[in-house]
Structures are given as structure tokens and as C-alpha cells.
Structure 1
Amino acid sequence: MRIHEVNEGITKFKKRKRLGRGTGSGLGKTSGRGHKGQRSRSGHSQHPTFQGGAMPMIRRVAKRGFNNKWAQRVGEVNLGDLEKNFDAGSEVTPATLKEKALANYRYDELKVLGKGELTKKLTVSAHRFSKSAKEAIEKAGGTCVVLETAKPVIKNKMGSAKKA
């Protein structure tokens, strides 16, 4: 093999199959679909998990647990993170936590947890506080501000909404 032969036969765009253009094309008559059967018909589509009539793997494997798609997502921040990233006397809010990349993910409520030490006086705003976190913030001379949570709107079977 020589260096100029490396890319021979490689084309940028593959030519499309021209179906049903006579027997000489190799894809005439049945157009590569074979004779009769489900796949030969127009409009054929099969479920991605279909396994030739056998019980699909997705139905054979036991289903366990429940994943609630309406559950409240709770973001969490530890006191140790606040100690490292904030100066004494500063105000900690969900917006400032997002700026410092401590809670830059989607959540419905923010909770401050008591893991780590806090020696700085901070004003912390969050939706929830653990008991130990609240005690540690107040012991350091700071204050805890509880934010209001927006109530989720739940739709009933008839389509009308009600506040939870």
C-alpha cells in the first residue's frame, strides 16, 4: 500500500439506493423488501422493544420501586461549602450560590445541611434548614431567612388546575 492509496474508494457522500427502477438495477420489483410479510408492507413500523413475538426483555425483567415525576427536587448545600466560599458578613441566597457554582442545577427547594464547621457571620436565605445547620449559623452570629416555596399546580383528570 502506498500513501496515495489510503483514501481511495472513500467518498464524502454515499449514493442513495434507487429503489424500484427495474430488474437490472438489482433493486427492482420488490425493492429489496423480499416477498410478502409484515416488513414488505408500506407503513410498517415496529416497537423498538419488539423481539420477534417473544416476551420482550423489558417485560421479563422485574419492575421494582416507583419514580415520582411530580416529587419536589431539593437542592442541598453544606455549611462547610459556605465557610469556604463566602466572606464574613456576606449574604447567601440561591442566586449567589449559583454564581459560586454551589447549587447550579435544577431544584424546587434549597436546603442547608449541617455538615462542616461555620465560623463566619452569614445571612443565609434558603427554603429549608436542618436543625444542626440552623443552630450552627445562629451560634456563629448569623441569621437564617426562610424563603417561600411556590406551590406546584396539579392538574386533575378533567384538565382543571388546582393549587397543592
Structure 2
Amino acid sequence: MAITAHTIQSSTTANRSKKRVGRGNGSGKGTYASRGLKGQRSRSDGKGGLKRRGFKASLLKVPKLRGFKSLQKKREVITLAVLNRICANGDIVTPTYLKTKGVVDKPEFGIKLIASGTLEKNITLRGCIASKMAMEAIEKAGGTLEF
């Protein structure tokens, strides 16, 4: 049978009323009200049920967060190979240019260029930091750096 709006039925236990405990022995939940005899968990302020005990075990399994998380913003790192792929000859590369090309997400934190791969295009790099090898590669390709 296909499930459609008019054939959906609630389960038989969905609307069952909650069993009230401690309301006489005729109810089936009288005297100790399913708490057993003595002990801390039988008292009114006793520890919570099994849920809390299971949760404690799951908390203990989670490893502790250790160390220190630096609040200093990290620069976005791009390589010469990426620049070679996205730039044309004579392009002026700025942080906003790199964002429009989809290479970096947050140019406001700064951009660092590293010398991984090769650069064969003549570009002008403006407003970015570069490693020593990357600077040499840009100048070798005929480009310039402006800080």
C-alpha cells in the first residue's frame, strides 16, 4: 500500500497517557513507585536516571581540548603555480583581485606568496607579502613587487 496523506496512521503507543506512579497499589505502581527499596536513587533528591549516567560515560570518552588557540589572524597562502594559472601577462595582482578570482576567502588578513611551482607571466604584485624565493621568481619572469 502506498503511503499518502490519508493512509498515515499514528502508532498504537503514540497517544498512550503517561503512567502516574505512587498512586496506590491498585495502579500497579504503588508503594515504591518503581524506585526500588532504599538508597540514594530512591530518595526524592536522588541522582538522575539512566540518561545522566550514560551521558557521563560519553563525556569521559571525548578527549580533552589541550594547548592554546592563537587569536592572531593567519595570512592566506598562495603559490606561484596558482598565480601562473589565474593571471594573464601584465596583470596587477592585489588582495581584492585574488578574492574576485576565488583564490582567497579573507584578503583582509593579508596574503603571502610562496615559491611553489613556476611563474612564467609578467605580473605586478601589490599589497602582498612574498617569500625571498617567490620575489626572485617574480623578478626573473619580468614582474615587479610593490608593498
Describe the SS at the equivalent of 1:56. Answer: helix
The runs of 4+ residues in structure 1 deviating greater than 3 Å are 6-11, 33-36, 45-49, 61-64
Describe the SS at the equivalent of 1:50. Answer: helix
Contact 2:135 2:145 in 1 (8 A): yes
Structure-to-structure mapping, 1:15-94, within 5 angstroms: 25-29=17-21, 35=35, 36=44, 37-39=46-48, 50-51=56-57, 56-58=60-62, 61=63, 66-94=67-95
Alignment CA distance shift 1:140-1:10 (3 Å): farther
Q: Normalized per residue, which structure has more strand? A: 1
Post-superposition shift, 1:77?
A: 0.9
How far apart in 1 are the matches of 2:126 and 2:53? 49
Amino acid at match of 2:47: Q
How far apart in 1 are the matches of 2:110 and 2:79? 14
Alignment CA distance shift 1:111-1:34 (3 Å): farther
Post-superposition shift, 1:113?
A: 0.9
Contact 2:94 2:128 in 1 (8 A): no
Post-superposition shift, 1:142?
A: 1.4
Q: Normalized per residue, which structure has more helix? A: 2
1:109-131 deviations in Å (ceiling 9; x for gaps): 21001112212221112442111
How far apart in 2 are the matches of 1:106 and 1:16? 57
How far apart in 1 are the matches of 2:87 and 2:127? 15
Q: How many residues align?
A: 122
Q: Whose Rg is larger? A: 2
Q: Answer yes or no: is 1:103 the counterpart of 2:104.
A: yes
How far apart in 2 are the matches of 1:141 and 1:107? 27
Aligned to 1:121: 122
Describe the SS at the equivalent of 2:96. Answer: helix
Aligned to 1:136: 137
State the TM-score, normalized to the length of structure 1.
Answer: 0.56
Alignment CA distance shift 1:39-1:127 (3 Å): same
Post-superposition shift, 1:139?
A: 1.5
